[in-house]
Chains A and B, each alone.
Chain A
């Protein structure tokens, strides 16, 4: 088993931490994992992304050209990863930041209004956790509880009081994505 995930968005959207949380959960599940950020000039433009690879064997490349899974937290990332996603893959899109429908029909695009959900929970910053929760609907190797445990185990002590809201964000993202999946025609989701 090997799965590659790219998380992309503006700097400040919690892209890198979202990836780290997944990496912690995968590690705690006994899997091998790599997390690698974009660094350097790319970051100056205000976009950030990270690639997480999880596997049950020694991981080769920490980067991937056509990921099967991706989270796009803003429009430029939606444009980019809708194009490069592997056929049959799943793209979680932050609906709050995009103004167009998906073009490709050979991938699953799950729209989740991450900003609104995060605001409802009472902390805008949690939009990354909403998206991660949504992603877990397409990543059976990691369960919501695994990510909760990872947060509990690895969140710096000064942020521990934020745990309940993080849990809620994960759960709300997961549930919202699940409702989106239910709308996908059966023959397509079996691809």
Chain B
């Protein structure tokens, strides 16, 4: 296929169609409404199911129902809408069926704004819904990556009978980049041995998340964790930039990661040995890669478009062995690479100390830079 200029949101929609999406259920919300609008046209054209639901709550439970049949099914939304979906996600996780959800994140909490943000990392990665359940979370940083990860989301969701969520910020959704689309696949109708598609000539099946006997629920929980251990062992993905001789390493996902790449390039040109680790799966998180780097580097800098959420995963891995510093722009502000370059200079001019919470000194710097006025 030739490279074409694709807008992030439309690329996500089309790549889901190409991956054999059988049904889409959604509700309009900026900055991802183009996904719904695109599919409102494209799905019926191919004779596939599309419903604009009455709400995100409706949409995710339509996903739940369709997923029970073994179809490839997804929804997409943005932060406030995803919050409404948490009930359905928990049920889907508890029922151990595959489903795909895209969250084009915006500034929050509450109604917030529609600007690009990464503030739903914890909600996505740590669960969000009630109960103890793992989920796969992929974080594309470019349009091509979003296309590739869309297909992967379906494959992983089905392989592990798990929710696969793609989180990106509004800027990737609105951005155009050259990208290549995979070939069009017919909707998947795999013969899963769990799908409730009518008990024609077989034992009937029941899909449910209810385990009244706590011992059964306990077993289910343990099975979820065992399954998750497989995911952790086999599905970690990340991208490395300039790490071979790096003394300082930036860790950032999605847009924050790619903005950091610009800063890293400039710092390298100035002779500063800095590299970048950009997690592509933020769940499972690349703990091992980070652990290995901890032996090599003098300090880490975590950059995010939030107040430090992935930061906790980095701290958990580094465990005080070297300093971890933080630079975030929350609320829908996208950092310019100059800001991260300044941070690199700060790291390189040392000395740095290990602190219990790197957010403390970051907050002080934010106030003093007058990027935020204290109230």
Interface residues of A (CB under 8 A from B): 20, 23-24, 27, 32-37, 39-41, 57-66, 154
| Cβ-based interface call for B240 (8 A) | no
**A64 / chain B contacts, CB cutoff of 8 Å:** 336-337
Further contacts, 20 of them, CB under 8 A, given A61-B336, A62-B175: A20-B176, A24-B5, A27-B5, A33-B5, A33-B178, A34-B176, A36-B171, A36-B175, A39-B174, A40-B113, A41-B114, A58-B261, A59-B258, A60-B262, A60-B263, A60-B337, A62-B258, A63-B259, A64-B337, A65-B337
**A60 / chain B contacts, CB cutoff of 8 Å:** 258-265, 337
C-beta contact mask, B219-259 vs A, less than 8 Å → 1, else 0? 00000000000000000000000000000000000010011
The number of residues on chain B lying at the interface, defined by a beta carbon within 8 Å of a beta carbon of chain A, is 27
A133 CB to closest chain B CB (Å) equals: 20
A33 touching B177 in the complex, CB below 8 Å, given contacts A58-B261, A60-B260, A60-B262: yes
B177 A35 Cβ-Cβ under 8 A: yes
A35 touching B258 in the complex, CB below 8 Å, given contacts A61-B336, A61-B337, A63-B336: no
Q: Max chain A CB contacts within 10 Å: which of B5, B261, B336?
A: B5
How far, in whole Å, are A120 and B114 apart by their CA atoms in the complex? Answer: 41
How far, in whole Å, are A57 and B266 apart by their CA atoms in the complex? Answer: 13
How far, in whole Å, are A34 and B334 apart by their CA atoms in the complex? Answer: 16
**B262 / chain A contacts, CB cutoff of 8 Å:** 59-61
B180 CB to closest chain A CB (Å) equals: 11
5 contacts between A and B (CB under 8 A): A35-B175, A35-B177, A39-B31, A40-B114, A61-B336
Q: Max chain B CB contacts within 10 Å: which of A36, A37, A59, A62?
A: A62
- List the 3 closest pairs (A to B, CB-CB), nearest first: A60-B262, A60-B261, A65-B336
A62 B171 Cβ-Cβ under 8 A: yes
B1 CB to closest chain A CB (Å) equals: 14
What is the number of contacts between chain A and chain B, taking CB atoms within 8 Å? 70
C-beta contact mask, B150-187 vs A, less than 8 Å → 1, else 0? 00000000000000000000110011111000000000
Q: Which of B178, B255, B336, B338 contacts A27 (CB 8 A)?
A: B178
| Cβ-based interface call for B202 (8 A) | no
A126 CB to closest chain B CB (Å) equals: 21
Which residue of chain B has its CB nearest to the CB of A24?
B5
Which residue of chain A has its CB nearest to the CB of B262?
A60
A63 B31 Cβ-Cβ under 8 A: no
**B296 / chain A contacts, CB cutoff of 8 Å:** none
**B259 / chain A contacts, CB cutoff of 8 Å:** 60-61, 63
B337 A23 Cβ-Cβ under 8 A: no
**B174 / chain A contacts, CB cutoff of 8 Å:** 36-37, 39
**B336 / chain A contacts, CB cutoff of 8 Å:** 61, 63-65
| Cβ-based interface call for B130 (8 A) | no
A40 CB to closest chain B CB (Å) equals: 5
B5 A35 Cβ-Cβ under 8 A: yes
A65 B175 Cβ-Cβ under 8 A: no
Q: Max chain B CB contacts within 10 Å: which of A32, A40, A60, A63?
A: A60
**A66 / chain B contacts, CB cutoff of 8 Å:** 338
B170 CB to closest chain A CB (Å) equals: 7
| Cβ-based interface call for B51 (8 A) | no
How far, in whole Å, are A16 and B25 apart by their CA atoms in the complex? Answer: 30
**A27 / chain B contacts, CB cutoff of 8 Å:** 3, 5, 178
A40 touching B176 in the complex, CB below 8 Å, given contacts A59-B258, A60-B337, A61-B261: no
Q: Which of A32, A41, A65 contacts B178 (CB 8 A)?
A: A32
| Cβ-based interface call for B95 (8 A) | no
How far, in whole Å, are A63 and B337 apart by their CA atoms in the complex? Answer: 8
Which residue of chain B has its CB nearest to the CB of A16?
B176
**A20 / chain B contacts, CB cutoff of 8 Å:** 5, 176
List residues 20-68 of chain B with CB under 8 A from any CB of chain A.
30-31
**B264 / chain A contacts, CB cutoff of 8 Å:** 60
Which residue of chain A has its CB nearest to the CB of B179?
A27
Which residue of chain A has its CB nearest to the CB of B339?
A65
B175 A61 Cβ-Cβ under 8 A: no
**A65 / chain B contacts, CB cutoff of 8 Å:** 336-338
B265 A34 Cβ-Cβ under 8 A: no
| Cβ-based interface call for B290 (8 A) | no
How far, in whole Å, are A64 and B335 apart by their CA atoms in the complex? Answer: 9
| Cβ-based interface call for B207 (8 A) | no
| Cβ-based interface call for B115 (8 A) | yes
A77 CB to closest chain B CB (Å) equals: 19
How far, in whole Å, are A6 and B259 apart by their CA atoms in the complex? Answer: 17
**A32 / chain B contacts, CB cutoff of 8 Å:** 177-178
